[in-house]
Every structure is written in structure tokens, then in C-alpha cells.
């Protein structure tokens, strides 16, 4: 039974590193470019939610949006990461977490739902300003994901899955060789679309 060479959560930017030097050099170059952004905090020790035993991963750093809104603390974290391929190479991806008073979330809408249900003392104001708050956060997410994927594109090849079989075998192609237009990753595109709809 086969296995996909790459596991990705949000985007698939890969290197076919032949040795540790090439891998280390690419990670170093990407980290250096991301470090040019004042919002980026480099760290290879952030706990990753998407790590799998067969695809070991490590963080490169994080972008954090941390603020208080109507006496509620909200933090959005996007973590660029590198993940080993199953057979060879590595892929660069990112994961995102939204943390509010009560839990961790994948989507700001779910976070606000819980704030309204479980204890925001300014429910009327939060309801009235919900759309602008969601828009503010979704714009930040889309812009941050674009920053990350723009850097990935400088040093890697973006791939798309062209075929995936029931035995696990997977075929890939470079994005420029397909009709797929995907510059900001699946999640970034989704958040950018949400912003445009509002």
C-alpha cells in the first residue's frame, strides 16, 4: 500500500532536498526572509497541532494578532512550518489558531458565537460590531498568509495534487503547469473570499 509523500493542511510548497545541507539552507533562507517582517517572531519550538508521526514537522516562527475587544482577549496565531516528506523532500505549510476566552477555534465566527453565548458583558455592542470585527481579523489572516506564501514561492515549488488513489499513492504537479490559481493557500483564499463577500 502506498502513502502520499507530502502531508499538508493549508498549502503545499516543496523542496526535493537531496541532503541535510540543502534542507537547512532552504529553511534558513525562508526564516531570514520572514524575519524582515516586524510581526514575525522566529521560533522552531512552537507546539504544532498538525504534526503526524509519519510526517515530522517543526515550526519556523509565528505571526500573532493579540488584542482586547470589549473586555475579551482575542489572539490569532499563524505558524509557518516545515514538514518532512514521507519518502523524500520536505514541504512548507502553516497552521492557524484563534484563541478567545473560552477555547481554541479554527474560525473567528465560532469564537464570537461562544463569546456571545457564554459571557461577553457587552453582547449588544459585540453583536452590532461583529461584522467589522470578523472583517478586520479575516483581512489580517489573508494578508499574513500571503506574506508567508510569497516567501515560500521564492525558495520552493508549489505543488497541487493531480491524482490520489485509494491505496494512498498520490501524483503531484507544479502549480504553474496546471490551471490552478493558488497564491495564498487554501485557507488564505477562503478568508480573502469572506472579506470580499462582506
Three cell numbers written together for 99: 484563541
On the question of pLDDT at 92 being above 50, the answer is yes
Q: Are 6 and 86 in contact (CB under 8 A)?
A: yes
On the question of pLDDT at 177 being above 70, the answer is no
Residue 135 is inside which H or E element, if any? helix 123-155
Residue 1 lies in a domain: no
Residue 125 lies in a domain: yes
178 or 153, which is more confident: 153
Residue 4 lies in a domain: no
Q: Are 88 and 16 in contact (CB under 8 A)?
A: yes
Give the chain's domain count: 1
Residue 3 lies in a domain: no
Residue closest to 90 by CA, chosen among 153, 44, 137, 23: 23
Average pLDDT value for residue range 62-79: 91
Residue 49 lies in a domain: yes
User: Using one digit for the tens of pLDDT, what is the confidence trace for 3-49?
Assistant: 777 778 888 898 987 778 888 999 999 999 999 999 999 999 999 88
- Confidence (pTM): 0.82
Residue 198 lies in a domain: no
Contacts for 82 with CB less than 8 Å, ≥ 6 apart: 27, 30, 57, 58, 60, 90, 91, 92, 93
| Host domain of residue 114 | 13-191
| HSE (side-chain half, CA atoms, 13 Å) at 82 | 24
Residue 7 lies in a domain: no
Amino acid at each position: 500500500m502506498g502513502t502520499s509523500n507530502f502531508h499538508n493542511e493549508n498549502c503545499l510548497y516543496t523542496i526535493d532536498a537531496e541532503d541535510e545541507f540543502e534542507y537547512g539552507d532552504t529553511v534558513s533562507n525562508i526564516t531570514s526572509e520572514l524575519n524582515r517582517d516586524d510581526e514575525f517572531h522566529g521560533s522552531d519550538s512552537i507546539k504544532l497541532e498538525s504534526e503526524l508521526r509519519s510526517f515530522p514537522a517543526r515550526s519556523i516562527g509565528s505571526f500573532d494578532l493579540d488584542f482586547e475587544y470589549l473586555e475579551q482577549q482575542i489572539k490569532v496565531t499563524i505558524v509557518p512550518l516545515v514538514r518532512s516528506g514521507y519518502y523524500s523532500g520536505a514541504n512548507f505549510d502553516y497552521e492557524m489558531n484563534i484563541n478567545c476566552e473560552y477555547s481554541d477555534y479554527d474560525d473567528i465566527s465560532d469564537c464570537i458565537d461562544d463569546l456571545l453565548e457564554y459571557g461577553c458583558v457587552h453582547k449588544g455592542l459585540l453583536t452590532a460590531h461583529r461584522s467589522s470585527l470578523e472583517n478586520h481579523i479575516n483581512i489580517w489572516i489573508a494578508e499574513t498568509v500571503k506574506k508567508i506564501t510569497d516567501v515560500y514561492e521564492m525558495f520552493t515549488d508549489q505543488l497541487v495534487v493531480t491524482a490520489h488513489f485509494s491505496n494512498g499513492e498520490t501524483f503531484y504537479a507544479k502549480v504553474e503547469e496546471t490551471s490552478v490559481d493558488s497564491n495564498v493557500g487554501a485557507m488564505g483564499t477562503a478568508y480573502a473570499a469572506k472579506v470580499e463577500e462582506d
